[in-house]
């Protein structure tokens, strides 16, 4: 690697050639504040908060876009620089609706933090042309847009376009009239938005947030006529600790369960169970397609953001989607039928909640084909962030809680179910079961390392009995587009595909705890969070294959019959809509 010598605040450093001033300063352990910058997706120098002095340059330069060169002398923290950053922040504040006390991002807002650090006057500037108050766009079942709080950093636009390849939102108008909106300023619900929420986790302020459903849950818990149960997705336990100050990559499953019981849920269950159930149905469906000449490649259907993307952008490939419902929806289906009977519950009085890392799951509960005997399979889906807020508002000291276990009889999930939340996890879980079915004997090695990792697209090939199986894994719908175009034009020859809408999978879902840009730019959140799931698979769980889960065996023996049976199809499978663009 070629290196160059630079001087930062009077100290000499050697840094890689070609990096920006911002990156060079981070090599020197100096943090320059930013608002618009997000590594790899948004380097536009728009907010002017990262301004620094470079000897010989004309005026201040934006550190996020200005490259270093040999002998450069950089000053990052002079009184002049701090005053200019403060003025720029105050200009941003002048067009920002400052309802901080009631804002969903209060205390986690990046603008709020910088304004406090630089001791800004929030009303120092006012424009003679006052911006009109914009109506809040709450048309989506998942995402709320509030342009009154938007600071035009364009991080949401970059996430939607570059990570997801969707462009549901963009910059319209020019100059002072610029704003972020869908094309033709349509309501978000009328666009090809897939509800993934990557725009939310990119937003530094409260201009984008999930539609909060916590009051609906609290109302149900307070109703003595209701039985309120909740199941928790594997990646929620890997991230909810971040809401309470834990480092990313900390497993807080036991404290999460204890907190949920103190909130008043009548049952707190492990969604790993229905991850296993999904694998039983999905692996069987795949083997059936291979043997009977069904539509291939078969593509997983666990990610509702991906499913909606397929319906909009690849409607001709909806026949390739597995017909399996997601683990969330399968749980609601079996809880309101099999387990309602076992527990002596009236299904009409059950309110079933799922705790998930995904804003698109809110959309999924409204989809056709998800009902159970005329009832919603899942009544309410809440994100990790919403769950964190519920715990905080209840005054529960999360860190002080002793670990507790999920409730019986749905307290067993396999390691295969645990890794669902990481990209490649669904594929690996399916392969563990499919391989043993095909070969008729236990696998010598359970880890399918080739499909692990955070790369956007991965390929692998396996010899399973008489089948030469080629598989692919993609995360982020921009990568899904590349993969599926390659499948369509014959570049890629695969029989089984896993796709997750969010880059890195559910661990990086749009409903996960927000992290400031400094963390997102310097920490591999996807890998740290996924490590919790892989550690649970290898260290904590008695069963590592879905078909070994004793509750799975029991539900088939007593209720479903066998995977892909008529009853399974009625309860656990669904259909899709060719939406188009």
What CA–CA distance (Å, rounded) separates 559 from 566? 11
Which is more confidently placed, 546 or 1?
546
What CA–CA distance (Å, rounded) separates 44 from 48? 10
Give the global pTM. 0.95
Predicted local confidence at residue 127, as pLDDT: 59
Predicted local confidence at residue 414, as pLDDT: 85
CB-based contacts of 254: which residues, under 8 Å, 6+ apart? 401, 402, 403, 404, 405
Residue 1 pLDDT > 80, yes or no? Answer: no
pLDDT band, residue 130 (cuts 50/70/90): low
Predicted local confidence at residue 132, as pLDDT: 74
* 211 neighbors 144 (Cβ within 8 angstroms): yes
Residue 372 pairs in a beta bridge with: 375
- Tell me the mean pLDDT in the region 93-99: 92
In a 13 Å sphere around the CA of 196, the CA atoms on its Cβ side amount to 36
What CA–CA distance (Å, rounded) separates 528 from 504? 11
- Could you give the 3-state DSSP secondary structure of residue 499? strand
Considering the chain, what is the average pLDDT of its residues? 95
Predicted local confidence at residue 131, as pLDDT: 65
Predicted local confidence at residue 190, as pLDDT: 96
Which is more confidently placed, 134 or 510?
510
Digit-coded pLDDT (tens) for 239-284 = 999 999 999 999 999 999 999 999 999 999 999 999 999 999 999 9
Burial class (CB in 10 A: 0-12, 13-18, 19+), 550: exposed
What CA–CA distance (Å, rounded) separates 251 from 261? 18
Residue 581 pLDDT > 90, yes or no? Answer: no
Digit-coded pLDDT (tens) for 184-212 = 999 999 999 999 999 999 999 999 999 99
Residue 558 pLDDT > 90, yes or no? Answer: yes
* 519 neighbors 528 (Cβ within 8 angstroms): no
CB count, 10 Å around CB of 367? 19
SS (H, E, C) 276-342: HHHHHHHHHHHHHHHHHCCCCCEECCCCHHHHHHHHHHCHHHHHHECCECCHHHHHHHHHHHHHHHH
What CA–CA distance (Å, rounded) separates 219 from 206? 25
Residue with the two structure tokens 């008729």: 440
Predicted local confidence at residue 235, as pLDDT: 96
Residue 128 pLDDT > 80, yes or no? Answer: no
Digit-coded pLDDT (tens) for 429-480 = 999 999 999 989 998 889 999 999 999 999 999 998 888 999 999 999 999 9
Predicted local confidence at residue 126, as pLDDT: 73
CB-based contacts of 406: which residues, under 8 Å, 6+ apart? 232, 257, 268, 269, 270
Predicted local confidence at residue 152, as pLDDT: 96
Residue 125 pLDDT > 80, yes or no? Answer: yes
- Tell me the mean pLDDT in the region 60-80: 96
Beta pairing class for 375-376 and 298-299: unpaired
Q: Domains plus CATH for the chain?
A: 3-77 (3.10.20.740), 93-210 (3.30.70.20), 215-572 (3.40.50.1780)
């Amino acid at each position: 690697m070629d290196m160059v010598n630079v001087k930062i605040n009077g100290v000499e450093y050697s840094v890689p050639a070609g990096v920006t001033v911002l990156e060079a300063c981070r090599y020197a352990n100096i943090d320059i504040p930013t608002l618009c910058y997000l590594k790899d997706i948004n380097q536009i120098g728009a907010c002017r908060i990262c301004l620094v002095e470079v000897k010989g340059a004309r005026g201040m330069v934006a550190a996020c876009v200005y490259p270093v060169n040999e002998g450069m002398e950089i000053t990052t923290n002079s009184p002049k620089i701090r005053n200019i950053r403060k003025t720029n922040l105050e200009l941003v504040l002048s067009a920002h609706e400052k309802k901080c006390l009631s804002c969903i991002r209060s205390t986690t807002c990046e603008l709020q933090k910088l304004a406090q650090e630089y001791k800004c006057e929030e009303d120092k500037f006012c424009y003679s042309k006052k911006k009109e108050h914009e109506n809040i766009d709450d048309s989506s079942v998942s995402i709320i847009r509030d342009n009154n709080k938007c600071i035009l950093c364009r991080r949401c636009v970059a996430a939607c376009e570059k990570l997801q390849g969707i462009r549901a939102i963009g910059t319209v108008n020019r100059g002072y009239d610029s704003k972020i909106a869908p094309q033709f300023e349509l309501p978000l619900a009328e666009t090809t938005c897939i509800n993934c929420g990557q725009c939310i986790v990119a937003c530094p302020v409260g201009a984008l947030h999930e539609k909060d459903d916590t009051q609906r849950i609290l109302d149900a818990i307070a109703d003595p006529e209701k039985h309120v149960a909740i199941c928790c997705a594997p990646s929620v336990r890997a991230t909810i600790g971040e809401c309470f100050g834990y480092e990313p990559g900390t497993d807080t499953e036991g404290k999460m369960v204890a907190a949920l019981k103190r909130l008043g849920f009548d049952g707190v269950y492990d969604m790993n169970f229905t991850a296993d159930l999904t694998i039983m149905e999905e692996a069987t469906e795949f083997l059936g397609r291979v043997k009977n000449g069904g539509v291939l490649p078969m593509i997983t259907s666990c990610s509702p953001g991906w499913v909606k993307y397929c319906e909009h952008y690849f409607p001709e490939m909806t026949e390739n989607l597995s017909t399996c419902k997601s683990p969330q929806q399968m749980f609601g289906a079996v809880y309101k039928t099999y387990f309602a009977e076992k527990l002596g519950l009236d299904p009409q009085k059950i309110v079933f909640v799922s705790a998930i890392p995904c804003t698109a799951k809110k959309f999924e509960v409204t989809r056709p084909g998800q009902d159970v005997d005329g009832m919603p399979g899942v009544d309410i889906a809440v994100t990790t962030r919403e769950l964190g807020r519920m715990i905080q508002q209840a005054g529960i000291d999360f860190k002080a809680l002793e670990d507790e276990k999920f409730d019986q009889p749905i307290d067993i999930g396999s390691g295969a179910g645990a890794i669902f939340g990481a990209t490649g996890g669904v594929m690996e879980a399916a392969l563990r079961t499919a391989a043993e079915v095909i070969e008729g004997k236990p696998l010598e090695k359970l880890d399918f390392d080739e499909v692990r990792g955070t790369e956007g697209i991965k390929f692998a090939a396996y010899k399973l009995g008489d089948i030469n199986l080629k598989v692919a894994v993609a995360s982020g719908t921009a990568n899904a587009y590349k993969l599926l175009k390659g499948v369509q034009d014959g570049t890629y020859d695969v029989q089984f595909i896993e796709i997750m809408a969010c880059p890195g999978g559910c661990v990086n879902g749009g409903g996960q705890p927000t992290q400031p840009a400094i963390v997102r730019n310097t920490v591999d959140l996807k890998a740290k969070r996924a490590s919790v799931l892989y550690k649970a698979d290898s260290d904590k769980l008695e069963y590592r294959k879905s078909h070994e889960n004793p509750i799975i065996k029991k539900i088939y023996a007593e209720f479903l019959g066998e995977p892909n049976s008529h009853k399974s199809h009625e309860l656990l499978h669904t259909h899709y809509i060719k939406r188009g663009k």
